[in-house]
Each structure stands twice: as structure tokens, then as C-alpha cells.
Structure 1
């Protein structure tokens, strides 16, 4: 795969201002320095038969499981290409006809962009201490999505096993659970918001660097394009209470979706009831930061014949294992429930003008 030359030493400074109807503007996302290094030198390793075979095996098992759950094991849905707006101009939806006997290498061998994914802002709504679990839906309504993230070292081109991938996103109508007091995310006086854990969770990478989640396609909210947050921890330890502690955050990123896919999502209930304004990828400051020479948009395929039956999405993170990113959560999930971080990004928001 041919990639653009990635600029190095690029530093984007400033803040992204998110506006919420009836609220003062909130400084929600501060830009962080970017890491820029090409993974073009990894193309040979990523094309090695054994590497492709292992990647195909992992993704193929997940894809087959989803189709079995829908009773579609013997059917062959057509996956038509879709247009989207992005810097790479690549259609991230598979154009293959998927069948039971096909060589899945043709579908999954391009398991995401081959570059060092840029480190961007963690966002204001991260909760530290979520459970290690594969299924993070908690009966939230929406379009099911299994998301597979493969972690590789951008210097050695080798997969990174035993890493911990922590993801979180909004629900179908653009609401994040687990944090109290953020404007536009429920009643700021409702302490019950701290009990929410939906669409948040942690998974380890296997011996081929892959971590996967059963989640939902996220809904949009004012000021941001549709996205999912992710942190990759190295050296963390799983505790008896099914959380992780310690280690270092070697990667903080956000991943996105084709604009045409987002438009289709918004026609399906309950996404269609979302009244928040849609911000396109190319108008989102953090998307532009992440897509400036890189490709933070997931590859995807429909599980069944229609979007409402679910999506399988995948992307590759190239990380710097020597990096140690600063993490400042909005809240902590403890054995006694959620607790706001008094020095976190939400607690430090100006209170003037909020009910």
C-alpha cells in the first residue's frame, strides 16, 4: 500500500472549543504534540505470509462468530463500496463479496493504516479503572459493532502482545456515561451519571497484537465528528477485581468512520432521533490532526445484508513503545462506584453559566 510521506516534528498547539446549545463554550480538547514517522518500512513484514495468516485467523474467527449469531453462516452478503471524505480518499468499506469458502486474506490483509498513529488529546471524558471485558454494550440500543485493533511497534514492525487497549465512546444519541457535570452529557447535577459504564472497557492484545471489543457504532454530538477514543497501556497488571493498574500509556488516539457510513447510521433508529448537529470529519480539528498524512478511519464490512445487522471494523495502531503519555481522567471507577477527579478536565471547567 502506498502512503503519503508523513511529516515529522509537527506540533499543533491550541484548543478545540466545543459549543453546546444553551451553554457557554467549553474548552474540551487540547491539542498535543504529534508524533510523525512513516511505517512504510514495515510493508514487507506486514505482507509476510505468516503475518497475514495470523491476522486473517484472528479477524476471521470474529467475523464468522458474528455471522453465526445472525444465522447467516451460509449466506454471502454483497459489500458495496461507499464514498467518504478523508485525506487519503480511500474507501474503507470492503468491496469484496464475502462467502463461507473465500480466502479472508483478501478482506483482512490490509488491517488498517501502516503508520505511527498520531498521539492526540485523550478528551475530557475518560474514566480510569474500567473493567476488562469484551462486550461493553450493556444493552444500549444501537448498531452492533465488533472492533478489532491490532497494535504493532512502528520501529520493529512486530506485533505487540500483552498490551492493554482501553476504549470509550458515546452512545447512539451522543451521550457518554460515567462522568458527571459535563455540559450536554445529561443532568450535570445527577450523581447517578457516575454509575454508568456502558461503552467503556479494556482488552488485552493476543500473541498477534489484536484486541477486540463487542460495542456499538457511536452517535455524534455537537462540536465533534463521530469517533472512538483509545489508550494503549504497556506493562499494566490485571487485578483480582478485573481492572488494570500500573504500566504506561504508550498511545492515546481517536479513530473515525467514513462520512458516508455516518450518514447511513443516522437513518437507523435510535440514531435517527439524535438532534445534535453533525460535524463532518474534515471540519473536525482533531480529525485533521490525526489524518494529516495518516489514516485514522477504520476499515469495515457489514456482518449481514443491512447496516442494522451490524458491522465488523478493524484498524492497526503503530505505536512507539518508549512513549509514556500523560493521562488525566475525568473520573475514577472504584469498587465503591465512580468518583470525579478533582483535578480532572471536567472538574476544572469554569462553572459560571451552568445550572
Structure 2
């Protein structure tokens, strides 16, 4: 699917729900419909701008270079027509002689989510770094995520993008508590794996070296992202100040998840899997829309164990401001628990007819 086709269709409806069993916060349907209609109009106008500015051509070249650097030998590419269809993967084998424009031209993913799911596992104040694997085992992943301004269709330079995900066995670093591995093991507070922040370049792009996430009870495989606008870099390599115009989650094809989960150490996880089709956050971010918050990807070798390159385009409304909830803050001695920030709130621009609101009394989807 070409970029022009994708942008004329893709949008991500606002969602604000708790993924904890038995707790839900849903926006009024008329507000959602108004917001989605506004975003659809905005994104459809960006297609020609992306081509004329060369943003699309540079993205193709960048993705091809990344794949080459990771010794791509055989490729399998996804093309999603319906993100709620768990069998939607359409794959084909490519050789190194295949034209790179055929392989890398599709953005596939197009996301605009003014207030998504932060969850209780975000740690505020993480380090600025793009290689976040540390000593963790699993399928290596290079993420190439591009951020564009939905109002101007221009790449957003200088955004600090915060990402975090669980490890291969479903555990997050830097947080302790029920639902995150052994809640009695406080040594996890000293860990920082699979967490980091990187700054977008002139094309609005950040890249992370990370791992394919595992799974835990009640959630499908996913990555979290938060965008920080006008933040200040401190001497200790952390951020302060600024605003948050975007909170969201990105996903993978179910067939790819199943393939990865069959490999070690993912296969050692005895917790029952939740599929994309069963995941409420996935459903809320795609139902009633033509949104596709699923990474495009290529294999970097002959099997998933050799690694993946995944890419996505995220459209943000820079006039929106949100406050992500957190219960832990990164310090020089590890994460420390804090209180008084159990709710996420924010406001969206009035021109977008986007609903505003808070998370209520509990944390969001994790």
C-alpha cells in the first residue's frame, strides 16, 4: 500500500480506557466521531505534501539503509488491510535485488492519538539513549518511527520520544507491583532495560534498538510511546519541562507475535496470551476507524531470531497537551516510587473537536 493511499485512509481515534479488568472509561461516541472526522480531513491533505517535500523518498532510503546495515538477506513484508483481522498478514519473499521502493514505500501505520494509554509502568525521567536492550535476551528490533504535524504535514524536528516495553517474559524494568513479574523482587527497581528517550531529526525520525516485547496477563504485545515537546535536556542526560502532545501504543501483526512467542525465551512464559483481537486497547484504537497502529516490518535475516526492522508514521497535534500518569521516577540510584500522580489528564485543541478528560481514579491500560 503506497503512502498516498495510506494517508487518505488512516487515522487513530482518541481512546481513554483502563485495561485493568473491570474498569473502563469511555468517551462519548459523538465526541469520538467528531474527532475522527477532523483527523481524517487533516491527514488526507498531507499526502501530496509528503511527496513534494521528499519526505517519502527519504524515508524509503533511510529504511533501506537500516535494513542493509543489519545484514538483510531475505525479506518478508506485511500489508495490512484490516488491522482487526488477526490473519491480515500478506507476506512475500524478496531478494536483495528487489527494488527498495517496492519494499519500503508503505508507511502502513498512521497514528494520531491525542490521549492514549500510559499505564502504570511508565517511569518518568528516563535517560536519553537509543540503544535500550542492555543484557536482555530476545528478538532484536530496530524501530524507525517518524513524527509529522497533522496540521502542517511537516516533519516534527526536536521532539523527544519516550518508549518502553516489557521484556521477553513480560516484565517491565524500573517498576514493582502486582502484574509485573515477582512483586516481591524489588531489585527490578534498579533495572532500566527497554526504556529510553531519543530526539527526532530533521525528518521527524527516531530510531531505537530494542527487543520484540513479550506478553503478560490481559495485554497483547505492544510498545508504549510518549512525545515531549519543547523539553530541556539536563546535564545528567534526562529531560525536564515541556509538554506532552502525544501518548500512544504501537502493535505487531498477530501472526508475527505467534512466531516470536514460539522462540526462546518467549516460550518459557506460562502466562496465557491475549491476542490483538482480544486486547481492548487495540480494539479501542482501531474500531470504527481506518487506523492501523501496527508496525510495518521486514525480517533482517532468514528467521525472526535474526531480528526485525519495524517502521511507523505517527501524526501528532502539537497544540494538544496531556499529563501522563506515573508511579515511579528514575533517579541515579534506580526507580523510586512516588504518589499523587495516579491520573492522566489533558486538553485537546478546540478546532479538532477532540474530547478532553482524565483517567479518573486509577491508572490507564498497561
In the other structure, the counterpart of 1:299 is 296
Establish whether residue 324 from structure 1 lines up as the match of residue 321 from structure 2: yes
Aligned mates of 2:16, 2:94 — CA distance in 1: 44
Alpha-carbon distance, 1:194 to partner: 1.2
* Greater displacement, 76-85 / 297-306: 76-85
Aligned mates of 1:339, 1:244 — CA distance in 2: 17
CA gap of 1:165–1:5, structure 2 versus 1, over 3 A, is closer
Contact residue 171 and residue 218 of structure 1 kept, 8 A: yes
Q: Higher helix fraction: Structure 1 or Structure 2? A: 2
Alpha-carbon displacement from aligned partner over 1:1-48 (angstroms, at most 9, x marks no partner): 15558697x7x6653324xxxxxx7x5x85678653121221112233
Which of residues 134, 137, 145 in structure 2 aligns to 1:138? 134
Aligned mates of 1:161, 1:92 — CA distance in 2: 32
CA gap of 1:123–1:109, structure 2 versus 1, over 3 A, is same
Contact residue 134 and residue 214 of structure 1 kept, 8 A: yes
Moved over 4 A (4+): 2-8, 29-35, 80-85, 88-94
Which of residues 180, 183, 190 in structure 2 aligns to 1:195? 190
CA gap of 1:61–1:303, structure 2 versus 1, over 3 A, is same
Alpha-carbon displacement from aligned partner over 1:134-185 (angstroms, at most 9, x marks no partner): 11011101000001110000111111011111000010011111012x2131
Q: TM-score, with normalisation over the residues of structure 2?
A: 0.81
Alpha-carbon displacement from aligned partner over 1:211-249 (angstroms, at most 9, x marks no partner): 010000000111011101000111011111111111111
Aligned mates of 2:17, 2:88 — CA distance in 1: 31
In the other structure, the counterpart of 1:42 is 46
* Greater displacement, 79-88 / 326-335: 79-88
State the structure with bigger RCO (CA 8 A, min sep 6), 1 or 2.
2
* Greater displacement, 118-127 / 161-170: 118-127
In the other structure, the counterpart of 1:21 is none
Alpha-carbon distance, 1:83 to partner: 8.4
* Aligned residue runs from structure 1 range 1-355, under 5 A: 1=5, 3-4=8-9, 15-18=18-21, 35-36=35-36, 37-38=39-40, 39-48=43-52, 50-67=54-71, 76-79=73-76, 86-87=83-84, 91=88, 95=92, 97-99=94-96, 102-117=98-113, 119-180=115-176, 182-292=177-287, 293=289, 294-345=291-342
Q: TM-score, with normalisation over the residues of structure 1?
A: 0.84
Aligned mates of 1:77, 1:118 — CA distance in 2: 37
Aligned mates of 2:25, 2:149 — CA distance in 1: 26
Q: How many residues align?
A: 330
Alpha-carbon displacement from aligned partner over 1:181-228 (angstroms, at most 9, x marks no partner): x21313323332211100000011111000010000000111011101
Aligned mates of 2:17, 2:115 — CA distance in 1: 15
SS in 1 for 2:225: strand
CA gap of 1:266–1:251, structure 2 versus 1, over 3 A, is same
Gaps of 5+ in 2: 344-360
SS in 2 for 1:110: coil
Gaps of 5+ in 1: 19-24, 351-355
Aligned mates of 1:277, 1:202 — CA distance in 2: 31
Alpha-carbon distance, 1:335 to partner: 2.2
Aligned-residue RMSD, C-alpha: 2.9
